[in-house]
Amino acid sequence: MKLPDQVTTVRLVLESWPETRDDEALLLLSVWSNEMSHRGIKSSEIEFMKFSSILMDGELTPPSAILAIKKQLQENIMELRGDTYVYSTIGINY
């Protein structure tokens, strides 16, 4: 099964679950849950140590990449911004 690319996955999560737009921890978990589901792994049934191993082995998108993609998407697509979005270069809330 072909996995969706990282940008597509992050955008899908931001579009589907608006609460992830302001909650980075929830965004990370939602993206990883989506990625595991595409690999046939049920996130509700996985043990923490197995999840840790999958993450540390590089099988899931690193947190820094997810957050960088989120930032880029929110800068370019107003609809993906959350309630607490701050335009980083000038520090004004939109």
Distance CA 61, CA 68 (A): 11
- Give the per-residue pLDDT at 3: 55
Tokens of 18: 């608006």
What's the per-residue H, E or C state across 10-79?
A: HHHHHHHCHHHHCCHHHHHHHHHHHHHHHCCCCCCCCCHHHHHHHHHCCCCCCHHHHHHHHHHHHHHCHH
What pLDDT tens digit does each residue of the chain (94 aa) get? 455 699 999 999 999 999 999 999 999 999 999 999 998 998 888 899 999 999 999 999 999 999 999 999 999 999 999 998 876 555 554 4
Question: Model-level pTM?
Answer: 0.83
Distance CA 62, CA 6 (A): 10
- Give the per-residue pLDDT at 94: 46
